[in-house]
Structure 1
Amino acid sequence: MSTVNYELIGDIGVIRLNNPPVNALSHGLREGIWGAIKSAQEDASQALVLICEGRTFIAGADITEFSKPPQAPALSEVITEIENSLKPVIAAIHGTALGGGFEVALACHYRCALASAKVGLPEVKLGLLPGAGGTQRTPRLAGVAAALEMITKGAPIPAAKAKSMKLIDHVVDDDLFEGALAFARELIDQKAPPRRVRDITIDPASIPEGLFDDFRQRLEKRAPGQLAPQNIVSCVEAAVKLPFDKGLAKELDLFIECLLSSQSAALRHMFFAERRATKVQGLSKDTPIREINSIGIIGGGTMGGGIAMNFANAGIPVKLLDIDQAAVERGRAVIDKNYNISMKKGKITEPQKAHCLSLIQGTTDYSDLVEVDLVIEAVFENVTLKKEIFSKLDQYCKPGTILATNTSYQDIDQIAAATNRPEDVIGLHFFSPANVMKLLEVVRGSKSADDVIATAMRLAKTIKKVPVLAGNCYGFIGNRMLRPYAREAQLCLIEGATAEQIDTVMQSWGMAMGPIAVGDLAGLDIGHKAREGLSEAEKGDPKTYCIADALVEMGRLGQKSGAGYYRYDPETRARTSDPEVQAIIEAQAKAYGIERRDISDKEILNRLTFSLINEGARILEDGIAQRPSDIDVVYVYGYGFPPHRGGPMFYADSIGLKKIYDTICTFRDLYGEANWTPAPLLVQLVKEGKTFTDWADDQR
């Protein structure tokens, strides 16, 4: 079947696109549109309707073609053909018109859309910018300020809002095809001419002074160091200051700069990595999925409440169990507060909040969990307590109920052994705040059944999480890698760096937060309590925790106490450095015989990031992660790793494994092999001249 079909219905030419699954702008689709528009100029049609089959309008470019030689006609040529049509062309939009798809719609002379449709220019999320006129046409229709917000954020907007922004002319409530034909008929009757967006001019005097410079500064805070958002501002500025064709040329130049950048390569890697992570190696596509229609959650604290919100938001009823009614009410109060925050941000309405709350019922009785399909234990990290809970669940829950633990690092098999059905036990490691963070580590125990794993991976999509399958070891993928990262941060601190320097280096590089500030946010007392239950050997090198313990013993627990490594404003939580902390650091250094020295920013960056990469290689060797890109997904979505660097393993490939290996060997010679022995897989890949990506390809 052809991807593009044309038919004449009366005096209206209908161009139908059909390139499943999302009508991506492949070469065949571009060629078909170009030919249909050209042919229609010679027939009896008075107007043309461009409409798509399937579940959506053109959802964007075919990303797989980005790395291939270009084939004519280019998207820009197709758009020119549409815009130059002597007959009005009407885009009829349903589903989503995104990226190049929306640029096609903008080239049409008129646009109608189903009320349920959304439009947008999400290229920035791939480190790109709209390269076929999107940055030039959008501000001409919606205004400069609105265009800047829309294109730099990349989020799709609903049809009603798009109409208010003048990006859509007409909203259809029911049958799009009939509605589009009726709209075309109105235009014919009115003798409406082709209306070309390119002919609209923007008066430079109408733009507030300093608008573009102010927006660039805002972006530097929102997306520090990222190329595409800044280039988008330059393109929109060109739409104001340059003739249309010169603005297009500027857009194309900056698009190519983005396309060839390491940032876009990293973001495109993450796009595919996220999708690849949902696939479980060795698991048949025919593996049955267990029905999950109701949930039980043990523990109504911050984590349990956040987990409950995920399921309520998806319309799944939740039984939230805690030790007594007072604890249940505290948990519900926190959930209510979180929903109020979402309402203030305009993310949900009052009726939506009420509906979600109605789906979360509190209880103190395990017998109320008899019929639930999944139970998630979310109590604090005490393996004895967790085993007691799973033993109870084994008694109360019906056969086939999935029993999950939200543990961050405990042994899944040890917890499963407390039941008579270890095949039903799995780890579901949510990240705090659980109602916000996208990552879900699905941790497979040695006896976890295939259908339990398949159900957990599918369920993640239902609650809008990004799942990554992990094997069972201390800390799984994310927290196992976090240990050497945190270790090096603490060693840099005691050896000569300041907290501010370490955090500034990592944030300037792109991390969402620096490691020292993260410690204050999480609470220094948490690690302190965890260490109290360990032997001296299990605690590891005291230089990696002595400063934190000294702060806790002074009552400096982090943000929640108003002081940790930093002091915090009680109202705004703004942090400031504290000379008292520097004195503590120097005292601990002296106690351990360390002569503090100047540590360069480069050394800090390399010690922290290369320790992540080296541990990531060990995780791959041990089979804890299925593939390097899964590790990247974990760190980008769970630990604030900069997406435009592609995750630690992609970053390693991008800068070269030989460089990483040589630097680790230098650190080994300087600081000892206990912390800096190159992982065998890293050694092997360097010897073979391969990358982590090559290794992943070899494993398929």
Structure 2
Amino acid sequence: MAEARDAVEYSLQDGVVWLAVASALTPAVRKEVMTALDRAAEDAGARAVVIQGQGAGFPAGADLAEPGTALPGPTISDLCARIEAFALPVVAALHGLVPGGGLEIALAAHYRVAHGAARLGFPEVKLGLIPGAGGTQRVPRMIGAGAALDMMLGGAMIPVGRPPARGLVDVVVEGDLRAGTEAFVAALLAEGKGPRRSSEMRQGFADAVGYQQEVARRRSSLAQQPELAPREIVAAVEAAMLLPFEAGLAFESDAYETCLGSDQSRALRGVFLAERRAPRFGVPATVPLPDLKRVTVLGGGPLAAQIVFAALNAGLGVNWGTRDPVRLRSGVPQVRDAFRQRVARGGLTEAQVQERMALLRVGDSAEMTGESDMILHAARGQGNVPAPHDVVRAVAFPGRVEALGLRFAQPVYSARLIEVISGPSVTPEQLAAALALARALGKVAVRVRSTGKSLGGRLMVACQRAADALVDAGQDPYEIDRAFRDWGWSRPPFQSRDQIGLNDFAEQPRAEGAQNWSALLVEQGRTGRAAGKGVYDWSSDPGHPGEDAALRALVEGVRAPAAPMPHDLIRKLVLGAMANEGLRMLSSGMAVRSSDIDLVSVLALDLPRWRGGPMHLAGVMGLLSVRRALEGFDHPDRAFWTPEPQFAEQIKNGGGFDDLTG
């Protein structure tokens, strides 16, 4: 007979207590699990306990908002200790996703039965954290250092039937998980087996020399990496072999707290939360997201080809139309070549490529708009192509947007961002279609209220304007880039400018007395990487730009060099200018929330995820310090450098920019 106890359902059947636990291990849920275990311990008819999930997966770990906050009730570590010390055998029945703290609960159980579709993993490293409830101590005892580090450093959710996840479970059930678990527990009891505690396991230590060699190898490979959490994971796995279990738990707890309090983890958690918030478009619940099966892409240029490839690779049917057949004759082979490159890298099989290419139809634009769920205009000159009136159209190329626009971060086939431009006449149905497309493509959608401009575009312009101003002030462009490259930004301002091409930047206005350095270089034929020279010399090795003495001579012929600025001041000025631009976008309503600005900075401008975006970084650097740097920078472009009023407001309130809304 089952009895509901809020988030934990307790039932006793044939001597087995079944605890069906809610999907999230909140403090209240953990307290109820503890109470249920106490009840099972006193239940005269109980011979074993099974813990399972109520919803789509095994109970997951604490909510991301929980780390660092003082909350009542038992911790996940407390719950793990209670389960492991339980006098009756405890079995975890796993299905769906079993991540993080939920997996640590399962590892504290004495046995594990998993459905064949279950996936196990430790995603904590992606949040700048390490497993904090015994995972770094139990997993190495069970499967050794190499497999444990593969799971924890990779952060992926791994199918239970594949190594190393398979080594963590006793039985994989392909059919009914309840029936399979009942059979497993019945056999367990028939054989008289009691608790088997993972803290007492030693098979993972069998090859002590190999264990230490694996730890040393991973430590060496991470030595030059800036992120803290991976190094702490390696140290905790090493401690699992060197220390008694309880001492190892204490080591893990200390490392977890170190990571939790780090700027890196705060930034990573902020970006993770930003990805979850961004798709909240405010579409009414009465407006369903359409089920997109086939989209039309109009236009024959490089942007269209990239969108076609991304859609086909996601399993969408594509109608590709142009008014110039020559474009298609060159474009279709480009798409096929892109698939072949995936095959060469082992990402796809030839059979999969054939399946995807079979989803493609090509022809004249007017013929391609029928039997389509959405139309994407990927080039100019396609706006008057007739189509059914109820099919949503979106403008995917730069230009004015009256209703719906899409700005794909480059390269479209791999970048995860779509900025959804909400024009003055956009409808909820159009926004719903854009959100559905982003989900179908596996991309993150960020809403932008504008008539065509994107958050990424404005942030990049602000970054380049600030970098130009530093050169005006006598700073060396290569030293500016070095200040960011050493900080972890792999595409610093001037290198990024070269990779994009200088022509568009050359059109950007500058205040009187300020120099647009891109315009000067374009006049000299230095238009960027594609031309072999821009700020850098790309002619020798297009993959590795070189500094160019001729560029320095050109710059110094226009303005005199000045004493080098400290790198931290360079970063404060450029990132502060970007945050200032972010405040302008928020105050105008263009940006919905500050976390969207940071997310775009990471996904489109490639700011290091573990650093965060400029709105977050302004707080890390100190709002007062950033404001003083902007005010104290002597440059004629005062309208650009003057701090927005929100600086003073947030400084007065003791807050940062992370939670601002537009």
TM-score by length of 2: 0.91
Tell me the residue number matched to 1:316.
316
Tell me the residue number matched to 1:584.
551
Tell me the residue number matched to 2:629.
663
Q: Deviation at 1:35?
A: 3.1
Structure 2 CA distance for aligned equivalents of residues 538 and 361 of structure 1: 50
The alpha-carbon distance between structure 1 residues 130 and 306, as it changes in their structure 2 partners (threshold 3 A), is: same
Structure 2 CA distance for aligned equivalents of residues 114 and 56 of structure 1: 10
Structure 2 CA distance for aligned equivalents of residues 211 and 656 of structure 1: 41
Tell me the residue number matched to 1:419.
none
Q: 1:545 aligns with which of 518, 532, 538?
A: 518
Structure 1, unmatched stretches of 5+, are 380-385, 414-424
Tell me the residue number matched to 1:418.
none
SS in structure 2 of the partner of residue 14 of structure 1: strand
Tell me the residue number matched to 1:97.
98
Tell me the residue number matched to 2:616.
650
Greater share of residues in helix? 1
CA contact (8 A) 1:38 1:81 kept: no
SS in structure 2 of the partner of residue 143 of structure 1: helix
Report the AA paired with residue 377 of structure 2. E
Report the AA paired with residue 51 of structure 1. Q
Q: How does 1:276-675 map to 2 (within 5 A)?
A: 276-281=277-282, 283-379=283-379, 386=380, 388-390=381-383, 392-393=384-385, 396-408=386-398, 410-413=399-402, 425-473=403-451, 475-493=453-471, 496-522=474-500, 524=501, 527-528=502-503, 531=506, 541-546=514-519, 548-549=521-522, 553=525, 557-558=528-529, 560=530, 564-567=534-537, 574-578=543-547, 581-590=548-557, 592-667=558-633, 669-675=634-640
Greater displacement, 77-86 / 130-139: 77-86
Structure 2 CA distance for aligned equivalents of residues 297 and 220 of structure 1: 46
Q: Deviation at 1:346?
A: 4.4
Report the AA paired with residue 459 of structure 1. L
Tell me the residue number matched to 2:210.
207
Tell me the residue number matched to 2:656.
691
Greater displacement, 133-142 / 45-54: 45-54
User: Residue by residue, what CA displacement relative to the aligned partner does 1:358-385 show, whole Å, maximum 9, x if unpaired?
Assistant: 1122223422213322111223xxxxxx
Q: 2:9 aligns with which of 5, 11, 21?
A: 5
The alpha-carbon distance between structure 1 residues 113 and 694, as it changes in their structure 2 partners (threshold 3 A), is: closer
CA contact (8 A) 2:61 2:101 kept: yes
Root mean square deviation, CA, Å: 2.8
User: Residue by residue, what CA displacement relative to the aligned partner does 1:437-489 show, whole Å, maximum 9, x if unpaired?
Assistant: 11110001111112212321233223211111102156321111211201223
The alpha-carbon distance between structure 1 residues 69 and 537, as it changes in their structure 2 partners (threshold 3 A), is: closer
Structure 2 CA distance for aligned equivalents of residues 432 and 35 of structure 1: 52
Structure 1 CA distance for aligned equivalents of residues 309 and 60 of structure 2: 30
The alpha-carbon distance between structure 1 residues 619 and 330, as it changes in their structure 2 partners (threshold 3 A), is: same
The alpha-carbon distance between structure 1 residues 143 and 340, as it changes in their structure 2 partners (threshold 3 A), is: farther
Q: Deviation at 1:354?
A: 2.4
SS in structure 2 of the partner of residue 642 of structure 1: coil
Tell me the residue number matched to 1:417.
none
The alpha-carbon distance between structure 1 residues 187 and 40, as it changes in their structure 2 partners (threshold 3 A), is: same
| Identity %, equivalent residues | 31
CA contact (8 A) 2:408 2:417 kept: yes
Report the AA paired with residue 306 of structure 2. G
Report the AA paired with residue 78 of structure 1. L
Report the AA paired with residue 436 of structure 1. S
CA contact (8 A) 1:12 1:45 kept: yes
Structure 2 CA distance for aligned equivalents of residues 247 and 253 of structure 1: 10
CA contact (8 A) 1:49 1:181 kept: no
Q: Deviation at 1:167?
A: 1.5
Structure 1 CA distance for aligned equivalents of residues 135 and 584 of structure 2: 44
The alpha-carbon distance between structure 1 residues 538 and 70, as it changes in their structure 2 partners (threshold 3 A), is: closer
Number of residues paired by the alignment? 655
Structure 2 CA distance for aligned equivalents of residues 503 and 237 of structure 1: 37
CA contact (8 A) 2:160 2:166 kept: no
SS in structure 2 of the partner of residue 192 of structure 1: coil
Report the AA paired with residue 426 of structure 1. L
Q: Are residues 1:135 and 2:136 paired?
A: yes
Q: Deviation at 1:188?
A: 2.5
The alpha-carbon distance between structure 1 residues 32 and 208, as it changes in their structure 2 partners (threshold 3 A), is: closer
User: Residue by residue, what CA displacement relative to the aligned partner does 1:53-104 show, whole Å, maximum 9, x if unpaired?
Assistant: 1111112213333343232322112111211223322211111010100001
Structure 2, unmatched stretches of 5+, are none
User: Residue by residue, what CA displacement relative to the aligned partner does 1:546-603 show, whole Å, maximum 9, x if unpaired?
Assistant: 454256x15x741x45554445587x8541524xx2222322331x233454233123
Structure 1 CA distance for aligned equivalents of residues 37 and 337 of structure 2: 55
User: Residue by residue, what CA displacement relative to the aligned partner does 1:19-54 show, whole Å, maximum 9, x if unpaired?
Assistant: 2xxx11112322233233343344333332211111
Structure 2 CA distance for aligned equivalents of residues 301 and 136 of structure 1: 54
CA contact (8 A) 1:300 1:332 kept: no
CA contact (8 A) 1:685 1:692 kept: yes
Q: Deviation at 1:166?
A: 0.5
Greater displacement, 512-521 / 241-250: 512-521
CA contact (8 A) 1:665 1:677 kept: yes
User: Residue by residue, what CA displacement relative to the aligned partner does 1:186-236 show, whole Å, maximum 9, x if unpaired?
Assistant: 323333342222112325732366643542343356xx4222122111111
Tell me the residue number matched to 1:420.
none
User: Residue by residue, what CA displacement relative to the aligned partner does 1:266-300 show, whole Å, maximum 9, x if unpaired?
Assistant: 2222222222221235x433234455332111234
Greater displacement, 231-240 / 200-209: 200-209
